[in-house]
Amino acid sequence: MAVPKTIRRALADRSIVGRVCLEAGAGVGNATAGLLEADPAAVYAVTNDADHALEVRERIEDDRAAVLYADLRSIPLPDDSVDVITAHALFNVVPPATAAAIAAELTRVVASGGTLVIDDYAPLSDAEPVRELFAVENAATELADGRPALTFYPADALRRLFAGHGWGHDRTETILEPVPWTADLLEAHADVVREQVADLPPALAAPLVSRADRLVDEIGSREVGSMYSLALHYDGALESSSRG
């Protein structure tokens, strides 16, 4: 399975050979594939999306990999059992309260000497039309089920969240700049708006759909923003009191 360049770049300075790894938020398993080519002992790919779990099981046939269909706030693994954790493009789909719970749970499962690599999109500027489309998407999901679809965390915000659980900073680097927001990808975000507002009163739904469609037309495709990779380490000996 092809491994995206961003993932190879983010994992290049991590020690993975013979270690137990966990991909937090498996999606289609790109980071699992990246970890597997670096010769780990095992990779657990965790997702709470049944379709993603199935897809990763089908795409990755490797005895060292296991897909766990589970919530990252309650990972079915023992304390101190994982050496390397990746969260590639996870946190942008995670609202803040859930991000806090996930940070606590990743800290529970990591072993002393473990490492965490968080790759995600840096926030776009307020005036950026792509950001406006995401704001419309968030308005739709907030109205439909009371949660934002997307939250773009600055690298420093996640660094501080994990520092509160005893994680130390290794490095932050840019792994993609600019980000290519293709017409298909932006259209997919407008489709999310359509799906989310389907059961809302037309007076609420129609303005959101027409604004999303207008933005997609106006933007076309766009290259803007960046993706960062934040690498952290965990020394359990310093940290046991702040777990949980």
Minimum CB distance to ligand SAM smaller for 62 or for 71: 71
Minimum CB distance to ligand SAM smaller for 45 or for 209: 45
Question: Of 37, 49, 62, 128, which one interacts with ligand SAM (CB under 6 A)?
Answer: 49
Minimum CB distance to ligand SAM smaller for 149 or for 205: 149
Q: Which of positions 60-99 make contact with ligand SAM (CB under 6 A)?
A: 71-73, 88-90, 93-94, 98
Question: Of 1, 37, 48, 219, which one interacts with ligand SAM (CB under 6 A)?
Answer: 48
Minimum CB distance to ligand SAM smaller for 47 or for 205: 47
Minimum CB distance to ligand SAM smaller for 150 or for 208: 150
Residue 25 to residue 47: CA distance in whole angstroms: 5
Q: Which of positions 5-44 make contact with ligand SAM (CB under 6 A)?
A: 23, 25-31
CB of 196 to ligand SAM, least distance (A): 16
CB of 240 to ligand SAM, least distance (A): 25
Residue 155 to residue 230: CA distance in whole angstroms: 7
**Which DSSP string corresponds to the chain?**
----HHHHHHHTTS--TT-EEEEES-TTSHHHHHHHTT--SEEEEEES-HHHHHHHHHH---TTEEEEES-TTS-SS-TT-EEEEEEES-GGGS-HHHHHHHHHHHHHHEEEEEEEEEEEEPPPPTT-HHHHHHHHHHHHHHHHHSS-S-----HHHHHHHHHTTTEEEEEEEEEESSEEE-HHHHHHHHHHHHHHTTTS-HHHHHHHHHHHHHHHHHH-SEEE--EEEEEEEE-HHHHGGG--
CB of 27 to ligand SAM, least distance (A): 3
CB of 85 to ligand SAM, least distance (A): 11
Q: Which of positions 154-193 make contact with ligand SAM (CB under 6 A)?
A: none
Q: Residues in the site for ligand SAM, rule: CB under 6 A? A: 23, 25-31, 46-49, 52, 71-73, 88-90, 93-94, 98
